[in-house]
Structure 1
Amino acid sequence: MLGRGIDQVLPHPGDPRLAEPWVSDARAYVEMAEAVNGPVSRADGYDGPWGDLMAELRATGPDAWVLNLETSVTRADGFAPGKSVHYRMNPANVPCLTAVRPDVCALANNHVLDFGRDGLAETLDSLGAAGLRTAGAGVDAAEAWRPVRVVLRSASSGTGSTSRHGPRLLVFSIGFPSSGIPLDWAAGPDLSGVALASAPSPAAAADLVSRMRAARRPGDLTAVSVHWGSNWGYRVPPEHIRFAHALVDGGADLVHGHSSHHPRPLEVHHGRLILYGCGDLVDDYEGISGHEQYRSDLRILYTARLDGATGALRGLRLTPFQARRLTLHRARLRDAYWLRAALTRHGSPFSTTLAVGSDGVLTLTPGKRGV
C-alpha cells in the first residue's frame, strides 16, 4: 500500500488531499506514525519504505517475486464515489517499486480504481513504462484475466538463464467484492477494470481452473493471487477454503491470498501452499489504533520453495519485520514467537505448525492433514 502517507515521504509526494470523513490530508498519516514512534525520515530515497527487506531479497534471490500492489499510481483528481478511503501514489515515485523489482504486481484489489478508469489507465501506463508487469487489471476483460508468464531464473538450464523457453510461473490475479471491490469495477469486453468474480463459488473456481488449463504448457507452475475477505480477524470463511482447494485440485501450485491487514492462517493442501491472508507488507497504518490485538505492526515476507517438476511445496520461510517510522525493520525474536503462537493457534484446523530459528525466521512444518 504505497499510496497516501507512504507517498508523502517519497521524493515526489503527490497531491495530499483526501476525501475521507475523518482525515482530509495524507500527511496526517505521517504525523500519526511520528506520534507513535518518532520522526519519519524524508531523506532515504525511494527504497525507504522497504528498509531491511532489501537485504532479505538480496539474500534469498527469489526466482519470482510477486506482490499485491494496493494503490493507484496516478495524478488524477476524481475520487471514486461511494468509497471512504482512496489510495494513490505519484507516478514519479514508481522508482519505489523498481527498487525491489517485483516480477508481477497483482492489481485485482479494492484500491487500484480509487481515482476512476482514468486513474487506472495512468496506473497501467506508469507501471508498464517502468518495465513492471501486472495481472488482474487491464484495458478490457481479456487483459485483466490474462496471466503474467514469468521465466524462472535459476531453474532455466541450471545456469540462471532467463531464456523465454525456460520453466515458467503463470500468475493470475482475481478479486472478490468481500474485499471492498465495487461491482462496477469489473472489466468487460470493451471496458477497463479488474478481474472480478461475484463470489468464491464453485462456478468461479471452475472458470478460473479452465483459464489456468488453457494457459499452461508442460512444465509450468501456476500461482493465483486472490484479494478477498475482511481486513481484520483470523477466521477463514468456509467458502474461501473450498475455493482455494478447488484451485489446487484443478492445478494451481500456490494460492496467494490477501486483503487482511495482518497475517491469517495458512495451509498445505495436497502438497500445495495456500496463504489465506498474507497481511500488509508496507502501509501507513502505523499510527492507527483500534486493532492492537492483531499486531498489524508485524509484517511477513513469504518465501516458498516449490518442486520444479511437481509444484509441491518443499519449504517455506516466513521472515518477520516490524513497521516503525514507515519503514521495515527485522522483527525481534520475541515478536517472531508471538507470530508463531498466533498463526499456529488460529491455524489449528489446518494442522499448521511453525518453527522459529535463532535468526527469528519462521519455517513451516506441515501437519498430517492435507499433505
Structure 2
Amino acid sequence: MMSSASYNNIKIDLAALRYNYDQIGKLVGDRVRIMAIVKSDAYGHGLLPVAEVLSDAGASTFGVAETEEGVCLRQAGCEGEIVVLLGAPAESFAEVIQYCLTPVVYDLANLAALSISAEKKGARVGVHLKVDVGMGRLGIMPSELKLFVDEIGRLPGVYLAGILSHFPLADSNQSSPTLEQGRRFAGLAASIGTASDGEMVCHIANSAALIRYPETYFDMVRPGITLYGCYPGAESVLRGKLSLRPVMSFHSRVLQVKEVPADFGISYGHTYVTGRLTSLAVLPVGYDDGYLRSVTGKAEVLINGHRARVLGRVCMNACLADVTDIPGVQPGAEVVVMGRQGDDEINADEIAGWMNTISYEVLCLLGGSNKRLYIYD
C-alpha cells in the first residue's frame, strides 16, 4: 500500500491527455468516431480519471479489456458505449446486460449463451464481431463471417452493432501488408450489407494506422498509446503528422550521497567496479517500482538538470546513480526517472530501449507500481 509519504510518484498530466485527444480528433476529422482505449487501467494512467477527462473532451466510446473495467466505468457514471475487447465469459453476462456493455464476439457457443441470458431479462445486447485479417489473435476467420452474421441475425437476444479487426504491422515501415489487410477488411464489411439492426460501425485502425493510413479509418479509430503521448514506431517519422505530449512522468528523490574509492564494487554481483573516486546517489527506485533489472548497465536518470548513469544492478527497492560530475547533489534532490528536468528529457521510448521492450509496457509497469498524482495545468 502506498501512502502519501511515498518516495516515488507518477505524475499524470491530464491537460496533456486532453491535448492528445483533441489532436487525434483534428487528424481524423469530425466524421470519424474515436474509441478511446482505456484498457489495462488506461495503460497505467488510471482508468477512472482518464475516462473522466476524455468524456469531458467528447469521447463517447471506450475500449476496455474485460467486463470488470466496463462495470467500473458505468458505476463511475460513464455514459458512452463501452466495448469489451476480450469478449465476455458466461459468468459476466448478467453484468454485461445490467450495465449495457458491448462485448466483442468470436465464439458461437458463447454468442448463443449470451442471447439466452439477454432474452431472459428482456434485453438485446449489441455485439462487435471480430474478424482476423492477419493478426492471428482473437477473431473468426474470414471464411466464417457469413455463418456468424447469420447466427447473430437469428438469435433474439443479440444484434450486430459492429465489425472489427486489428493490424499487426501498422507501425512497420512496410505499408503493403497493412493496406492489403485494410482492403480485405473493407470487403468483408461490405459483404455484410444490411445484416445489422440500424447503424453498424466498422473499425480496424489502431494508433499507428490512424497516423499512417487514413484510408483505414472507416467509421471509427481506436487510439491507445497516442492518447498517452507516445508514438507507435519510429517517432521521427510520425511526429510531423501528429503532435503529442507525454502524459506520464516518474519522479523520485535522492536518499543518500556518499563517496566511494576507486576499485569499489557496486550493488549485487559487483557487475560495475568504480574506476575513480566516485560520488554515488542512492535512489529508492527498483524493480518493485517497475524499473526492471534489464536496464542495468544502460539506464540514466536526471538529477539537477544533468544525466546521471545508473551503476550496477538495479535492486528491488533501490539503485545507484553516479553524480561525481554533477555539482551540488544533496539528499532530497529531485530525481526524474522518466520525464523532463531542465533542458533534458528521458521518455518512455528511451527507457523501453534499455528494457528491450516497448513504451506500452513501460507505462503499464511504472504506472501500476507507484503512487499517482494527477495534475491539470
Q: Give the TM-score normalised by the residue count of structure 2.
A: 0.39
CA radius of gyration, larger in: 2
The structure with higher relative contact order (CA 8 Å, sep 6+) is 2
The structure with the greater share of residues assigned to helix is 2
